[in-house]
Amino acid sequence: MNDQEMFEKVATATGFIAALDQSGGSTPKALRGYGIEEDAYSTEEEMFGLIHDMRSRIITSPSFSGEKVLGAILFERTMDGDADGKPVPDALRDRGVVPFLKVDKGLEDEADGVQMMKPMPDLDALLTRAKAKGVFGTKKRSVINKASPSGIAAIVQQQFEVAEQILAHGLMPIIEPEINIKSADRAQSDVMLRDSILKALDSVSGDNKVMLKLSIPAEAGTFDALVSHPRVLRVVALSGGFARPEACAELAKNKGMIASFSRALLEDLRHQMTLAEFDAALGGAIDEIHAASAT
């Protein structure tokens, strides 16, 4: 797939985006969920080797194809690794899956009810490398814990400023201001975030589009104006801690939003499984998430 083919697939095809981008801080938890305890490795390199093996197993499974999986978000080390004897972005495109890259460096401490992204001083170099490897887009995450008008405005401003830097490299930015689903004022945060993003979309440069990755709203339909906005290529939803059945049920209430799940996609996978068992479990999850994304 070339850039235009990837653009059209993400914009129009039925399916969802797999989030395979656990970073250093979340990798031990992801490995435990996969059935590998921390005593199975003693160094960071061994840990990242194990998580790469898990991701490679997912990417090369028969059920993981562009028929239902539109794209996959990668951790930087995964982008630089191989699967099926070829660079991971190439392996994905060969299967009809559009590659994205997580580019943020984690979160600042909470202030004003939100957690901003940490500085990314090497972002231009990373974007240049990602583009050369055939990556289509990027993802960057911040977190909203309280319905703070000033905090949410600051999050959105930072996200859109970095999005312009990404667009300048010919890559598609996924803007991810996650709302904590355990927040007591989650519904108010949804509305504040929607309205702040609508204002920011008016300032997107040229004829560019962006993507949005948002928590499933407390009230179905809250993000309809974002789904239909001409500057938004696609709105995808994170599972945010919901188990897969609940995440899929909540997502299905929001027409036009598609999934970009991580834990909810991987929760039934274990490293002890045979190839057939692994593919059956993965295929079942893919079918369930695809159905919820097709509403």
Residues serving a catalytic function are 176, 213
Q: Which residues of 172-210 are buried (b: 16+ CB within 10 A; e: fewer)?
A: bbbbbbbbbbebebbebbbbbbbebbeebbeebeeeebb
- Please, what is the Cα angle at 134 between 10 and 161, to 5 degrees? 70
Helix (H, G, I), strand (E, B) or coil at 68: coil
Q: How far is residue 136's CA from residue 166's CA, in Å, rounded to a whole number?
A: 11
Distance, in Å, from the CA atom of 136 to the CA atom of 40, rounded to the nearest integer, reads 34
CA 74 to chain centre: 8
Residue with tokens 């562009």: 66
- Which residue, among 134, 222, 161, has the nearest Cα to 186 in the 3D structure? 222
Rounded to the nearest angstrom, the gap between the alpha carbon of residue 235 and the centroid of all alpha carbons in its chain is: 11
Per DSSP bridges, beta strands 16-20 and 232-238 are unpaired
Amino acid at the residue 114: V
* Residue 148: both structure tokens together: 């703070």
Q: β-strands 98-102, 137-144: how paired? A: parallel
Q: What length is written for the chain?
A: 295
Does the CA dihedral 207-210-216-217 come out positive or negative? negative
Query: Which residues 6+ apart lie within 8 Å of 41 measured at CB?
Result: 47, 49, 50
